[in-house]
Amino acid sequence: MEANSLREQSIYRTLRKKFSANRGCLAGILATLAAETAISLLLPGLTSRIIDGLDRRSMAWLISLVLLFLATVLMGGLFSVLNTLLSEKAGRKACDELRKDIFTRIYRFPMARHKSAWTGEFLEKIEGDVNILVGFFSNMLIDITGSSLLVLGILVVFAGKSLALGLVFGLLTLLIFSIFIGTQKKISLLWKSARDAETQAFGEFAQVIRAAVDLVGLGKEGYGAGRFREKFDRFGQKQVRASFLGNIPATIFYSLLNVGEGIALAIGIYLLKRKELTMGDVYLLLSYVGLLNTPFFLLKYQFAQLPVALSAFSRLDAFYAVEGEGEEAGEIDSFADGSIVFDSVTFGYGDGNAVLKDVSFRIGSHDKVLIQGRTGGGKSTILHLIAGLYRPTAGEIWIGGNPMNAYKKGCVNGNVYYISQFCPVLEDTLYNNLTHFQDKYGEREITEAVRMAHLDTWMQRKGIGLQSMVGPDDFTQDERQLLAWAGAIIASPRILLADEFDAAIGDGILEIIDGLIRDRFQDATIVMVSHKGRSTIELQKRIYVEEGGAEVRE
């Protein structure tokens, strides 16, 4: 799907397409809803006929009517089960397709959007908000539609028996629906705010846990707990406010319905005394008044939940407003060398705060460079900019002898290799984890890379071949690093970026990696980020990153 067509979509258009592709199921839902509504309206009428015919009809007639009543009850149960099955199927299928659509879009988000996301934000929305929509389409929308049809049918019956009764309940129904519909937008905004606060609270919790070691080391344990408490208290306040105000329309609704029941009873008694109604008719009216409780109770519950569903729509629709990464517009398809130049580069993640400000430095081809500085100063951000994961807010980056935007799509990825501290392992073959799903490498060069990275010993111990399935649990932190460096040998990049690779590995593994840098990557430009500086590699430059800037130390 092209970027332009992605931008033209919204969650509403996407869902409409999903449901349009399943028209048969929707037609079945409407048909079963109509049948279920008709049966609900028919049953009190049958009972009314039985009551009026007790002293005027034969026993055979009464038994036939009772049997018809029982058959109708069974048919109603059957249509109800069928309706539930179809609505669950349609709702879940559409929402599962929505999950896939959103997941695809997330992969196209700019990397800065990923960086600025709260921990677990995307998963929380795909699971939390989409699950709310599953309930909306599987139950809520069906209950609202079915209940509205039943209310409309009862109003028609009331009007047929008594114009006054039909008028009273018609006005009450209009008033109830007006109250609910008129308050949904404001209440949905309250629930959206509460859901956003919940995401931030759990995101704060994850960040505090991740920074626990640093906070303990600084003696600031209370700081993290205080931040989390503040976010969670804010979430609690917003949720209580949304819940309280969201229940006010339902309270008004029940009060109006009680008034309507009293009026219906009074009108029924009045018409019975005037002999304008039979006892069966009075039973019919009272049954329908009681029957109104069911759809109105469902409407009360579902309208109370509707703002939550609307807030889920709003939060997910925001994903459709994020534009994907732009295509590289250049024509150059190869690097002239391994040089890197930052020319007055400024960069921020979209929150208004610049991580790097007016940064300039030059790294020569084949140089071995170490970037140092405080946590959060922008060291890893420099690597991400070199790798092309982000684009600078201002200034220009030259890599391989040309501006980054001068290259064809994929050229930078083919010449730059990035190794992180926590190297990811996918549930796939060892071959695909080594080659990153590229099929241009031969088995001989892959086997040689595995040997050079000393990963062959691990393979023998585990009894694993290149086509064996592996997962994250098969690797220790040391083995993950060896896997990543074996992949780098296979890729043979012009520029190799290593982010805190020495932070959590043993001395023996560090010796292996240092040996690879000296022997296998001597012709590559290597830029390393390190707190500990454990590597013994001879450096040509050190770049010390301060808050908002960088200075080059030879």
Q: Kindly report the CATH number assigned to the domain that includes residue 407.
A: 3.40.50.300
For residues 72 and 67, give the distance between their C-alpha atoms in angstroms, rounded to a whole number.
8
Residue 329 lies in a domain: no
Residues 6+ away with beta carbon under 8 Å from 322? 105, 109, 110, 113
The answer to whether residues 135 and 259 belong to one domain is yes
- Against a cut of 0.85, is the pTM above it? no
Return the residue matching tokens 């039943």.
Answer: 150
Other Cβ atoms within 10 Å of 53 Cβ, number:
14
The answer to whether residues 306 and 345 belong to one domain is no
CA torsion angle 233 234 237 238 (round to 10): -150
Q: Kindly report the CATH number assigned to the domain that includes residue 166.
A: 1.20.1560.10
**Residue 157 pLDDT more than 90?**
no
Angle 221-273/163-210 helices, nearest 10 degrees? 170
Going by pLDDT thresholds of 50, 70 and 90, the confidence category of residue 351 is low
Q: Rounded to whole angstroms, what are the CA distances from 116 to 107, 309, 522? A: 15, 25, 36
User: Two tokens at 475?
Assistant: 């690797």
The answer to whether residues 358 and 260 belong to one domain is no
Amino acid at 196: D
Greatest mean pLDDT among 245-249, 346-350, 479-483? 479-483
Return the residue matching tokens 């929402």.
Answer: 95
- SS3 assignment, position 276: coil
Residue 532 lies in a domain: yes
CA nearest to 250, candidates 290, 304, 211, 197:
304
Average pLDDT, the chain: 79
Return the residue matching tokens 């008033």.
Answer: 175
| Structure confidence at residue 554 (pLDDT) | 46
Largest CA distance in the chain: 111
More confident call, 492 vs 100:
492
Q: What proportion of the chain, given as a percentage, has pLDDT over 90? A: 19
Asked if 526 and 386 touch (Cβ cutoff 8 Å), the reply is no
Order of strands, edge to edge, in the sheet holding 394-399? Answer: 354-363, 340-348, 394-399, 402-403
As a whole number, mean pLDDT of residues 525-540 equals 86
For residues 527 and 269, give the distance between their C-alpha atoms in angstroms, rounded to a whole number.
90
Which own/partner pairs from 98-107 qualify as long-range (CB within 8 Å, at least 24 positions apart)?
A: 98/11, 98/14, 98/15, 98/18, 98/130, 98/133, 98/316, 99/126, 99/130, 101/14, 102/126, 102/130, 102/316, 102/319, 104/1, 105/6, 105/319, 105/320, 105/322, 105/324, 106/319
pLDDT in tens, 75-129: 888 888 888 888 888 878 888 888 888 887 777 777 667 766 666 677 777 777 8
For residues 311 and 315, give the distance between their C-alpha atoms in angstroms, rounded to a whole number.
6
Q: Which of 258, 291, 320 is the last residue of a domain?
A: 320
Residue 334 lies in a domain: no
The answer to whether residues 354 and 407 belong to one domain is yes
Segment among 107-116, 173-182, 235-244 with least mean pLDDT:
107-116
CA nearest to 364, candidates 341, 339, 397, 382:
339
**Residue 293 pLDDT more than 80?**
no
User: Two tokens at 419?
Assistant: 């190794």
DSSP 299-310: HHHHHHHHHHHH
| Structure confidence at residue 40 (pLDDT) | 80
User: Two tokens at 112?
Assistant: 């800065």
Segment among 217-231, 232-246, 351-365, 508-522 with least mean pLDDT:
217-231
**Residue 442 pLDDT more than 80?**
yes
**Residue 352 pLDDT more than 80?**
no
| Structure confidence at residue 495 (pLDDT) | 95
The answer to whether residues 232 and 279 belong to one domain is yes
Q: Rounded to whole angstroms, what are the CA distances from 344 to 197, 230, 347, 402, 545? A: 37, 38, 10, 16, 14
The answer to whether residues 157 and 248 belong to one domain is yes
Asked if 72 and 47 touch (Cβ cutoff 8 Å), the reply is no
Other Cβ atoms within 10 Å of 334 Cβ, number:
13
| Structure confidence at residue 234 (pLDDT) | 85
User: Two tokens at 358?
Assistant: 């007016």
Residue 325 lies in a domain: no
| Structure confidence at residue 169 (pLDDT) | 75
| Structure confidence at residue 341 (pLDDT) | 95
Other Cβ atoms within 10 Å of 428 Cβ, number:
12
Residue 333 lies in a domain: no
The answer to whether residues 273 and 368 belong to one domain is no
The answer to whether residues 283 and 357 belong to one domain is no
For residues 485 and 468, give the distance between their C-alpha atoms in angstroms, rounded to a whole number.
19
| Structure confidence at residue 7 (pLDDT) | 42
As a whole number, mean pLDDT of residues 461-482 equals 91
Residue 331 lies in a domain: no
How do 402-403 and 394-399 pair as beta strands? antiparallel
| Structure confidence at residue 165 (pLDDT) | 72
Q: Which of 266, 292, 320 is the last residue of a domain?
A: 320
For residues 53 and 536, give the distance between their C-alpha atoms in angstroms, rounded to a whole number.
102
| Structure confidence at residue 492 (pLDDT) | 92
Return the residue matching tokens 């959007």.
Answer: 113
**Residue 5 pLDDT more than 60?**
no
- SS3 assignment, position 397: strand
The answer to whether residues 143 and 25 belong to one domain is yes
For residues 270 and 285, give the distance between their C-alpha atoms in angstroms, rounded to a whole number.
13
Asked if 334 and 402 touch (Cβ cutoff 8 Å), the reply is no
For residues 381 and 376, give the distance between their C-alpha atoms in angstroms, rounded to a whole number.
9
User: Two tokens at 442?
Assistant: 């031969």
Residue 327 lies in a domain: no
The answer to whether residues 459 and 496 belong to one domain is yes
Into how many domains does the chain fold?
Answer: 2
The angle subtended at Cα 380 by Cα 379 and Cα 384, nearest 5°, is 125
The answer to whether residues 489 and 398 belong to one domain is yes
As a whole number, mean pLDDT of residues 157-167 equals 75
For residues 36 and 73, give the distance between their C-alpha atoms in angstroms, rounded to a whole number.
10
For residues 505 and 502, give the distance between their C-alpha atoms in angstroms, rounded to a whole number.
6
The answer to whether residues 208 and 240 belong to one domain is yes
Q: Which of 285, 320, 355 is the last residue of a domain?
A: 320
DSSP 426: -
Residue 205 lies in a domain: yes
CA nearest to 528, candidates 412, 368, 414:
368
As a whole number, mean pLDDT of residues 278-293 equals 70
**Residue 227 pLDDT more than 50?**
yes
Going by pLDDT thresholds of 50, 70 and 90, the confidence category of residue 63 is confident
* Domain carrying residue 500: 340-553
